[in-house]
Amino acid sequence: MSRLLGDGRRARTFRDNISGYDKQLNFAVGALLLIGTLLVWAATRQWFASQGLDPQYYLKRHVLNIVIGLLLAYGTTLIDYRLLRAYTPFVWGIGVLGLLAVLIPGIGSTINGARSWISFPGGFTLQPAELAKISVIIGMAMLLAEARDKDSAPTHIDVLKALAVALVPMALIMLEPDLGEALIISAAVIAIIGVSGAPSRWVIGLLLLGVLAGFVAVKAGVIHDYQVKRLQSFVNPSADPQHSGYQLRQSRITIGSGGIIGRGLFTGPQTNGRFVPEQQTDFIFTVAGEELGFLGSGFILLLFGLFFIRAFAIASRTTDIFGRLVCIGVIAWFAFQTFENIGMTMGLMPMTGVPLPFMSYGGSSMFANLVGLGLLQSVHLRSR
């Protein structure tokens, strides 16, 4: 234990930790967790009750996920993130193994066209991509921060090594296929390379490569039919009105019908009528839109804004390059995921199945989100 906590420092007490956290960051996440819990409940209570099932089924599981996630987050803050480097290859390896495991029939299960889940007895499932995401961020940060002075930039070799760390899990995720997760990791990769001080042609080159890869993937049929349909229905919602087009249209109407003050928590007719499929997971923001209106859902956006401002503050303040790169990776991950998810529900972005951080129902994603929070707080604690 003492080795883990490192450098002969006194082990941090619980009290030290709590008082040392960035309180505004915790406030933002706490508020999002609380509102998200209410929304998951609102999205599922009437539906389950009408089926004669326990209306609090999702609520209970969601709260359980949050509790586990908060324990994971607390655990993460206990660990000196700098020591994580030593374990990075191990974490990365587990992530890759998990990604390989989902591809094996019998272990991986398919939900919504993507083989992304490992099922455990008792109805629990895990999404290895969520873990892989964290291992990629830490792995890249380690490679790009290692063995250099504060003011020197990573070499091309460093960048190539870092890219290799990212590429293996990304390739496996694309095989599932889970376009959303792959895009999130891409965003984190580009942000980390950019902030690492690497030559800017890397960033520009990678962005161009991304566009080219997307184009080739669609043309060559690597991207699945349903993904092409989703993209088409984004451009033209009547192209596939029964499925993704229907979902996007319903989603937009549900948010828009909330108006300024909303229809009231638990009383949204669109939500209670289950007109938006997957509402407790990827479309949780529509519940906020309908039931809490512009005031409530605008407040949620402000909370995310506060979260990002605080996260950037932590990234700027730390003098440790590794810590900063971890922070920027986490920020890019959350920023892309938030924008993609909320943008999708409002018709700004095409449909990819990514959950809304801290709010959507779903264990793996909730755990990963809170570990991400733990990483940010861990950097914060150790940069004072």
Partner 1 sequence: MNQRSRLSLIVTQTLVLSLMLALFGRLFFLQVASGLKYQSAALSIQSRDIVNPAIRGAITDSSGIPLAMDRPGMQITVNRSAVDALPDKGSAVFAQLGKLLSLTPAQVFTKTRLCGELAIGLRAGCWNGTRQQPIPLTKLATEAQALKVLENPTIFPGVDAAPVPIRSYPALAGENAAHVLGYTGVVTDADLANPNKRYYLNEVVGKSGLESVYDTFLRGTPGVKTLIVDRKEAITSVSQNTASIPGDNLVTHLDARLQSAAEKALSSSVQRSRSLGYHADSGAAIVLDVTNGAVLAMASYPTYDPNMWQKGLTPAQAKDLFSTTSGVPALSRAIQGEYAPASTFKSISIVAASAAGYNLNARYNCPAEVKVGTGLFKNFETKSQGNINLTEAIAVSCDTIWYQIAFDQWIKDGGLSPHPSLNDYFFNAARGFGVGKKTGIDLPGELSGRLPDRQWKQAYYDANKNFYCNYGKRAKPSDLTPYLIAIAHENCLDGNKLRAGDAVNFSIGQGDTLVTPLQLVDMYAAIANGGTLWKPQVAKAVLTPAGKVVKTFAPVKNGKIPATSADISFLHTALRAVATRGTAAGVFANYPIEVAGKTGTGQVLGRNPNGSAKDDTSWFVSFAPAAAPRYAVVMMVSQGGFGASVSAVGVKDIYSAIYGVVGNKVDPTKAIFPSSGPVVALPKVDPKYAKLPAGTVKK
Which residues contact partner 1 by CB under 8 A?
46, 50, 150-153, 191, 194-197, 200, 203, 250, 252-260, 269-270, 272-275, 289, 293-294, 297-298, 301, 304-305, 308-309, 312, 315-316, 321, 324, 328, 331-332, 335, 338-339, 342-343, 346-348
Name the minimum Å distance from CB 150 to partner 1: 7
Nearer to partner 1, 74 or 308 (CB): 308
Nearer to partner 1, 270 or 378 (CB): 270
Taking alpha carbons only, the member of 366, 25, 352, 330 closest to residue 187 is 330
The DSSP result for 146-202, as a single string, is TT--TTPPPPHHHHHHHHHHHHHHHHHHHHTT-HHHHHHHHHHHHHHHHHTT--HHH
Nearer to partner 1, 255 or 379 (CB): 255
Name the minimum Å distance from CB 194 to partner 1: 4
Nearer to partner 1, 33 or 344 (CB): 344
Q: How many CA atoms lie within 13 A of 156 on its CB side?
A: 3
Nearer to partner 1, 226 or 308 (CB): 308
Name the minimum Å distance from CB 221 to partner 1: 31
Taking alpha carbons only, the member of 58, 32, 33 closest to residue 274 is 58
Name the minimum Å distance from CB 106 to partner 1: 33
Name the minimum Å distance from CB 378 to partner 1: 19
Is residue 22 within 8 Å of 380, Cβ to Cβ? yes
Nearer to partner 1, 50 or 110 (CB): 50
Q: What is the bridge-based pairing of β-strands 114-119 and 125-126?
A: antiparallel
Is residue 179 within 8 Å of 223, Cβ to Cβ? yes
Is residue 93 within 8 Å of 106, Cβ to Cβ? no
Length of the chain: 384
Name the minimum Å distance from CB 246 to partner 1: 10
Q: Is 308 exposed, middle or buried (0-12, 13-18, 19+ CB in 10 A)?
A: middle
Q: Which helix (H) or strand (E) holds 130?
A: helix 128-145
Name the minimum Å distance from CB 345 to partner 1: 10
Nearer to partner 1, 46 or 125 (CB): 46
